[in-house]
Amino acid sequence: MKQPPGYEDPNHPDHVCHLQRSLYGLKQAPRAWFKRLHDYLLSTGFSSSKTDVSLFHYSTDTSRVYLLVYVNDIIMMGNDPTLITSLLKRLFTTFKIRDLSAPGFFLGIETIKIDDGLMLSQRRYMNDILTRAGMTDCKPLAMPAAVTQPVSTTTTPHDNPTQYRRVVGALQYLTITRPDLSYSVNRLCQFMHSPTTDHWALVKRVLRYIKGILDYGLHITVSYSAVIHAFSDSDWAGCPLDRKSTGGYAVFLGKNLISWLSRKQRTVARSSTEAEYKALADVAAEVTWVVSLLRELGLHTGDPPTLWCDNLGPTYLCVNPVFHTGTKHVEIDFHFIRDKVASGDMLVHFVLTKDQLADIFTKPLPGPRF
């Protein structure tokens, strides 16, 4: 430790400052900092979102400003530049902040302006992952997972499990802008406790796929439609180890993909209908949250969201309990999708498998399909 520049003591050059309190490092520091910022924003006219505690919004007539907080990183956006400037000046009077203008690089995500909107890219982060794994010069692949390759064929433990956990943990953050990696990363995360050489080979395949798609990103376009569409899908007993199914969904606001998930279900499904029904319940919960957020921000159109499923069984089951005898064992929390449909809050429709966008979150796909 050294004395801070400008505060050196020539009589005691070896002395250091005694730390009395700090923003970082203390258990209560994040909570205390957020409460300080929260109270100040409310005093300036902002309203705290009840759907997302990190979001604040400010409205006057037709002007809207949104402020999103991540620890001490803040994004402010709105449709009135004058109002944004005045709110920033208020923040300047209380906090030592810097205005970095338009978000170009935020939390490892690069915002690139294109003709019809934005592209969110993590190119630098992907290069960093390849460097840490020693695969900067690897040959690229067209798909992150092979259709014919099993999850594990050997029990030989990987000689460096820490490296496996470090790389897979880094890949989890990459799925923020890369939904095409969600299924592969979800499968890799299931073997963190005891990775084998086969699991490390699957990691290397994902890294080789990343090498070939460094210029890809999440495309956000200007959409004048606020209608919500969600695609839900599930395989059936796809995991050979515990016979649980993998469910996934993709939620669109207009033309923009805003939420997605690939996750193994908690219980074993006795039929494909049950597995798809559970996946529909998961996406219904996510859509309910999205609708609540849009209503709070005054952006909801009032039209019921549409859920798309490629299995007729759960599609009928959401409207009418025709398979009551075959679903007696299904946990009651999965049946709330039926109440949403009955109340008119959601619509469930059938979609062909070839048009099912959520298929990519449930299983490895062949090249053309992927």
Domains delineated in the chain: 34-108 (no CATH), 121-212 (no CATH), 223-361 (3.30.420.10)
Please check the confidence at residue 127 and state whether its pLDDT lies above 90: yes
Please check the confidence at residue 324 and state whether its pLDDT lies above 80: no
Kindly report the number of other CB atoms within 10 A of residue 215's CB atom: 9
Mean per-residue pLDDT, 318-322: 73
Q: Are 362 and 183 in contact (CB under 8 A)?
A: yes
Q: Are 60 and 83 in contact (CB under 8 A)?
A: yes
Provide the pLDDT for residue 31: 85
Provide the pLDDT for residue 22: 62
Which pair of structure tokens corresponds to residue 140? Answer: 């690229």
24-33, 50-59, 241-250, 271-280, range with the lowest pLDDT: 24-33
Mean per-residue pLDDT, 91-110: 87
Helices (H), the chain: 29-43, 81-94, 123-132, 161-174, 182-189, 197-212, 272-296, 312-319, 336-342
Closest-CA residue to 64 (of 46, 37, 90, 89): 46
Mean per-residue pLDDT, 18-40: 79
Phi/psi for 322 (5° steps) reads: -75, -25
Provide the pLDDT for residue 32: 84
Provide the pLDDT for residue 172: 94
**Which pLDDT band, with edges at 50, 70 and 90, does 360 fall under?**
very high
Provide the pLDDT for residue 146: 83
Kindly report the number of other CB atoms within 10 A of residue 65's CB atom: 20
Q: Are 346 and 287 in contact (CB under 8 A)?
A: yes
Please check the confidence at residue 14 and state whether its pLDDT lies above 70: yes
Provide the pLDDT for residue 273: 85
**Which pLDDT band, with edges at 50, 70 and 90, does 176 fall under?**
very high
Taking only the tens place, the pLDDT of each residue in 262-289 is 999 988 888 888 888 899 999 999 999 9
Q: Which residue is associated with the tokens 């499990």? A: 161
Tell me how far apart the terminal alpha carbons of the chain are, to the nearest angstrom. Answer: 53
Beta strands in 225-312 (DSSP E): 228-234, 246-253, 256-264, 306-309
Provide the pLDDT for residue 106: 87
Quote the CA–CA distance of 231 and 360 in Å, as a whole number.
11
